[in-house]
Structure 1
Amino acid sequence: MSLASLLPAETHPQEGYDGFIGWVLSLMETLGEVGVGIAVLVETFVPPIPSEAVLPAAGFLAYEGRMNAWWAIVAATLGAVIGAWVWWYLGRLLGRDRTRALVEAIPLMEGEDFDKAEAFFAKWGRVAVLLGRCVPLVRSFISIPAGIERMPFWSFTLYTAIGSGVWNAIWVGLGYAFGPAIRPVLEQWSGILSNAVLVVIALLLVWFVVVRLLRRRRDRRAATEPRG
């Protein structure tokens, strides 16, 4: 019989979460700080897993004395950095020319879109990596342009670690500070927050498609009109 089975049901952080998220939280409870690092590493490749739900659960376990809050933050940051390295190397392997060709092959995308993104990253790359670690979905993929633009590895690692460390410390700290009181808040708002971000991204995508289609229609009409 495990220690977890002897505890009251309300002390299990995975209760109330089904499917993959529940499995991740159970893994974290079983393996302690190592499980926290693995959970964040998994989140890097499966963005729908909200760290806003996973990390406070680690703080809650620390509150109950079942793990060390500081080591949980370190493990979470290490997991985030390792995941970011994988995406960085993927971007580096693709390189500029292959990525530009892939962009041009995507419907409604043009090489000019890649050129603008490249110019933006050249100017704001370090800031983008730093702040991108605090944005759901973005934090999983911001490492790819860093690799494409060959952002220095140790500089990339430093900014990734700082951004991830601050983000992890905030959420683990909230779980530790509020203890059991934070659970109903997490169940109510963590999903809402993640869904809100996905809705905003979807709306931006729709806006992009509409604007691009209208522009192409206008360009075709201008090309067929006789010149005076």
Structure 2
Amino acid sequence: MFDFLREFVETSGYLGIFLLMFAENLFPPIPSEAIMPIAGFNAADGKLSLAGVLISGTLGALAGAYFWYVIGRVFGYERLRWLVERYGFIFTVTPEELDRARALFERHARKAVFFGRLIPAIRSVISIPAGVAAMPQLSFLFWSLIGTVIWTCFLTFAGYILHAQFELVVGWVNPVSNAVAIAVVLLYLYRLVTGRGRTARKS
């Protein structure tokens, strides 16, 4: 994967960075933790401009975030609650818990989106609850942009400053991302096994 990403960025330039960051938000196994340091390395090597790398990476990530926001917005809260009422065991959440989660998200939507864009694994899915909760579009885009710029700059400058040692960034950030993803899966499995969210199925 690492060699593929490096070759793809070198051959496709800014468009490749945009496409990779867009895909990273759709398919989390494609890691931004590797994409942007590689792009930063290419900027330090003079193959790409630093501004171009930052802009293309940020726009790609924002486009991917907006894609999931639209999916959540179209699907809507009522459909989600209908599914939870009937298949709460699979979701490991009850309709009442879903209502409380929605109310909590609505109170802290801007903070949730902003900080969510900075957390590995979470950053790829935070757009969905924002869309489901019908967070105002401009507010979502603004706070997503701020969080995305910070994350993209951090990874890009790390690759740019470390230059030939940019693989150290991947070696440090990638395990953190994996740990967060594993924790989320373990929490889900725990709730599934213990029957959290078990509801009577309605006909």
TM-score bucket of the superposed structures, by smaller chain = 0.7 to 0.9
Equivalence for 2:183: 200
RMSD: 1.9
Equivalence for 2:201: none
Equivalence for 1:161: 145
TM-score by length of 1: 0.79
- CA 211–46 in structure 1, closer or farther in 2 if over 3 Å, else same: same
TM-score by length of 2: 0.88
Equivalence for 2:112: 128
- d(CA) in 2 for partners of 1:87 and 1:188? 28
Range with bigger deviation, 93-102 or 196-205 = 196-205
Segments of 5+ residues of structure 1 without an aligned counterpart are: 1-17, 217-228
Letter in 1 for 2:136: P
Letter in 1 for 2:116: G
Aligned pair partner of 2:192 in 209, 216, 220: 209
Residue 33 (structure 1) aligned with residue 14 (structure 2): yes
In our comparison, the structure showing a higher alpha carbon Rg is 1
Whether the aligned pair in 2 keeps the contact of 1:33 and 1:75 (CA below 8 Å) is: yes
Match runs of 1:53-92 below 5 Å? 53-92=34-73
- d(CA) in 2 for partners of 1:34 and 1:197? 29
Range with bigger deviation, 198-207 or 43-52 = 198-207
Identity %: 36
- d(CA) in 1 for partners of 2:80 and 2:142? 25
Equivalence for 1:47: 28
Aligned pair partner of 2:102 in 107, 115, 118: 118
Segments of 5+ residues of structure 2 without an aligned counterpart are: 199-203
Q: Which has the higher contact order (CA 8 A, sep 6+)?
A: 2
Runs of 4+ in 1 over 6 A off after TM superposition: none
Letter in 2 for 1:73: L
Equivalence for 2:128: 144
* SS of structure 2 residue aligned to 1:48: coil
